[in-house]
Chains A and B, each alone.
Chain A
Amino acid sequence: MNVTIVDYNSGNISSVINSFTEVAKGTVNLEVTSDLNKIKSSDKVVLPGQGSFKSCMDALNSINGLTDTLDEFVINKKKPLFGICVGLQMFANVGHEETETKGLGWLPGKVSKIDNKNGKYKLPHIGWNQINIVKDSKIFKGVENNSHMYFVHSYEFIPEDKDVISATTDYSSNIVCSVEKENIFGTQFHPEKSDKVGLKIINNFVNL
């Protein structure tokens, strides 16, 4: 089994690497690379993302052929991909952080700023919040409903097709915090920073 974490200068991915390394221990061959051939031949791909929607999309687009390779991997080959935080947000058609930016467009929808209800809710949404699992997702195998996950974000993904939503979390409104559509998985929270239950989710993805 080859799992590739896409390294496209999207900010700090050390924690993602450390958590997957912990889970993979000896059973999975883990690569951290932006090499297109390695991504193509991989069984699974992890797409991390930190910073803004725009900075992450710009970073993806600055590597020649990367978005095409990911499209091919996800849409044509239908191999499993796991987006984390902005990695999930980029599944959308469009993001509204900094300026309007085109996303990968795998899951129709947009990424907008969380409504802070006139300052009633502090942003970023930082800390541990409970997830409400709304549909069976392969990555939630053995994960209890209302488990706590670690969040840090100010923008939320609003998908057009509500069927892709696998979990929400309550902060100002019901924020989409996990999606699953066939081979496409994503979490707004950070499983790599969500202690044992987070590692469980990573383990579920690795062992799909």
Chain B
Amino acid sequence: MLKNRIIPCLDVKNGRVVKGINFVDLKDAGDPVEQAKIYSDGGADEICFLDITASNENRDTIYDVVKETSKKCFVPLTVGGGVRSVDDIYKLLNCGADKVSINTAAVQNPSVVEESSKKFGSQCIVVAIDAKKNGDKWEIFTHGGRKETGINAIKFALKMEKSGAGELLVTSMDKDGTQSGYDIELMKTISESVNIPVIASGGVGTLDHLVDGIKSGASAVLAASIFHYGTYSVNEAKQYLASKDIPVRI
């Protein structure tokens, strides 16, 4: 049976790990390579690096981080943030990323998703959707959640599936950084709409939130703070999910 994945996410800025609260207010806390190794040794099913300020600043640091990490961690590594072009994707894959997540570029230029999934295979193309509730619908945001687009999140998810995305990483902007749980309604709606796996993100504060995320239909749950600040270990999270009859790899 396919197991539900737990994916710790490391927000990386200028080659260092930070964890943003609502994408602002950053605290510096560590070496991404060492952090990733701790997570993979601790049973993480996948590691995610999000290069949060890459669109504005020096990008090359992330390539070194990915290169070093992929020599030490033998679980899948997903890298996102500041990915603009097919060439950016190629460079990250070449450094040892297994999947690349695309956010702003997927909205501005959907052909990047089409071209890259044809060229490298859908299995390595993740589209990151940052969504915010607007009335009874969700709207997607780009540029690390700073820019409104007016695009409907569900329609966009379907479009990305059609364009060749292999997975969707769905973050609720309303929930991110609040530790009050995933936007379950959003996860459920998107998971039911598409036939590709959905990774739930944004808002985890307790282990029950992870349980709720999986029950919403997501194939994987991503969290940053609860692992990063040592509230729970990945293994504790897995044991807890298993105790709630959710299949995980232990």
Segment of B115-123, B130-138, B145-153 engaged in the interface with chain A: B115-123
B5–A127 touching, CB < 8 Å: yes
B121–A150 touching, CB < 8 Å: no
A193–B122 touching, CB < 8 Å: no
A148–B249 touching, CB < 8 Å: yes
- Chain B hits for A126, CB < 8 A: 123, 166-167, 197, 219
A150–B78 alpha-carbon span in the complex (Å): 14
A123–B98 touching, CB < 8 Å: no
Segment of B19-27, B50-58, B67-75 engaged in the interface with chain A: B67-75
Number of chain A residues whose Cβ lies closer than 8 Å to a Cβ of chain B: 38
B216 to chain A, nearest CB (A): 14
B94–A128 touching, CB < 8 Å: no
Knowing A22-B71, A51-B121, A124-B122, the reply to whether A14 touches B94 (Cβ < 8 A) is: yes
B201 to chain A, nearest CB (A): 16
Within 8 A of A (CB), among B212-250: 219-220, 249
- Chain A hits for B167, CB < 8 A: 124, 126
Knowing A193-B75, A193-B76, the reply to whether A18 touches B70 (Cβ < 8 A) is: yes
Counting CB contacts under 8 A, is B3 at the interface? Answer: yes
A129–B124 alpha-carbon span in the complex (Å): 18
B45–A127 touching, CB < 8 Å: yes
- Chain A hits for B207, CB < 8 A: none
Q: Mark A1-42, 1 if CB is under 8 A from B, else 0.
A: 000000000011011001101100000000000000000000
B124–A50 touching, CB < 8 Å: yes
Within 8 A of A (CB), among B179-203: 195-197
Knowing A126-B167, A128-B2, A150-B76, the reply to whether A11 touches B120 (Cβ < 8 A) is: yes
B196 to chain A, nearest CB (A): 6
Counting CB contacts under 8 A, is B48 at the interface? Answer: no
Knowing A12-B93, A193-B74, the reply to whether A122 touches B3 (Cβ < 8 A) is: no
A122–B76 alpha-carbon span in the complex (Å): 19
B112 to chain A, nearest CB (A): 16
A195 to chain B, nearest CB (A): 5
B192 to chain A, nearest CB (A): 10
Q: Mark A94-106, 1 if CB is under 8 A from B, else 0.
A: 0000000000000
Counting CB contacts under 8 A, is A152 at the interface? Answer: yes
A148–B119 alpha-carbon span in the complex (Å): 29
A100 to chain B, nearest CB (A): 18
Counting CB contacts under 8 A, is A194 at the interface? Answer: yes
Counting CB contacts under 8 A, is A67 at the interface? Answer: no
A126–B4 alpha-carbon span in the complex (Å): 10
Within 8 A of A (CB), among B141-192: 166-167
A12–B219 touching, CB < 8 Å: no
Interface residue from B3, B96, B196 paired with A129 (Cβ < 8 Å):
B3
Counting CB contacts under 8 A, is B103 at the interface? Answer: no
Within 8 A of B (CB), among A153-199: 153-154, 170-171, 192-196, 198-199
- Chain B hits for A148, CB < 8 A: 3, 249
Knowing A19-B74, A152-B123, A170-B1, the reply to whether A127 touches B98 (Cβ < 8 A) is: no
- Chain B hits for A138, CB < 8 A: none
Counting CB contacts under 8 A, is B95 at the interface? Answer: yes
B75–A150 touching, CB < 8 Å: yes
Counting CB contacts under 8 A, is A119 at the interface? Answer: yes
A51–B96 touching, CB < 8 Å: no
- Chain B hits for A154, CB < 8 A: 122-123
B45–A193 touching, CB < 8 Å: no
Return the 6 tightest CB-CB contacts between A and B, nearest first.
Answer: A51-B121, A12-B93, A14-B96, A128-B249, A152-B123, A148-B249
The 6 sampled A-B contact pairs (Cβ below 8 Å) are: A12-B94, A50-B120, A122-B219, A127-B220, A128-B2, A148-B249
Other contacts beyond A12-B93, A51-B121, A193-B74: 5, CB < 8 A: A15-B98, A18-B71, A127-B219, A128-B2, A154-B122
B→A interface (CB under 8 Å): 1-5, 40, 45, 70-71, 74-76, 93-98, 118-124, 166-167, 195-197, 219-220, 249
